[in-house]
Structure 1
């Protein structure tokens, strides 16, 4: 199948684990450097920042569950009359556009979650290393751990939403793919 016959192929690829790792490590390294230099000027961490991140993670997890339930109502996508998807499938261009928007949101949230995870992790490591000699660092440590967990939950929920937005191939597409392979 060439691009000339059916138009361009989609170019949104799943988020690579290496991308998340590099973004997280960069966030951690930058935050470690900034915390070592400017901790005295930084405001103390607040628990409600983590609550917002957990709420976003719950929202993305709900979107992932709902999208997965919509696309795979009984484990597979079925074709209705005229080759269109039956209930539970992609019924209209608006529905397909919503799934594409969710996939883009998931990719952005996964990368942002990894960046903030790295930042919170770097800050938490710095706080743990200095909690014995700085009272403020010891006070900020629980919120740092909570923020790190919230960012991990956000990244995981975003990756689940991204995975849930994949439209499974229909049975007739699977058969044609297997018959064209050598």
Structure 2
């Protein structure tokens, strides 16, 4: 199986996206359309699906129902869930970084620019959605791990 997604890599991606967005917002914010309240909310359903998937996978792994039979978790399905989790973690980290960069640009502007004050709510919704997606993806990936083997019984 592939190695676990490193939180350090996700943080680096989020930091890069935040810095790039902060710089771009400084140059182009005046020409951007308003940020609706639910602009970043599209990540919430994806996170919810991943949580449900993680619950199903965890249940089947804990009950030793892994295999090609009916009502079992097929190993290929588990591998696909890991791929989904890894991709979602990257999307969530990048999105959270973009929203964080925009928020860092908007916060000092709120007292002088009306648009910055009205955009802040939508940006926070997006930032939280990105963080929730990262958490759901990391948990899904964790649930797909094979359980530890019990130690061998000593010979009597």
Separation of aligned partners in 2, 1:96 and 1:67: 11
- Please give the per-residue CA displacement for 1:138-168, whole angstroms capped at 9, x wherever unaligned: 0100111111111110110000001011011
State the 1:129 CA deviation.
1.3
TM-score, normalised to structure 2, is: 0.90
Q: How many positions carry a matched residue from both structures?
A: 151
- Out of 74, 83, 87, the residue aligned to residue 104 of structure 1 is 83
Separation of aligned partners in 2, 1:46 and 1:96: 41
State the 1:40 CA deviation.
1.1
The residue aligned with 2:68 is 92
Work out which of the two has the higher radius of gyration on C-alpha atoms and give 1 or 2: 1
1:43-54 matches, within 5 Å, as 43-54=33-44
The residue aligned with 1:82 is none
The residue aligned with 2:99 is 120
1:11-50 matches, within 5 Å, as 12-50=2-40
Q: Is the 8 A contact 2:38 2:125 kept in 1?
A: no
Separation of aligned partners in 1, 2:118 and 2:39: 16
The residue aligned with 2:57 is 67
- Please give the per-residue CA displacement for 1:40-90, whole angstroms capped at 9, x wherever unaligned: 1212212333331111111111111111111113xxx4xxxxxxxxxx2x2
- Please give the per-residue CA displacement for 1:82-135, whole angstroms capped at 9, x wherever unaligned: xxxxxx2x2129810000000011011101101111110110111111111110
Query: CA RMSD of the aligned region, Å?
Result: 1.9
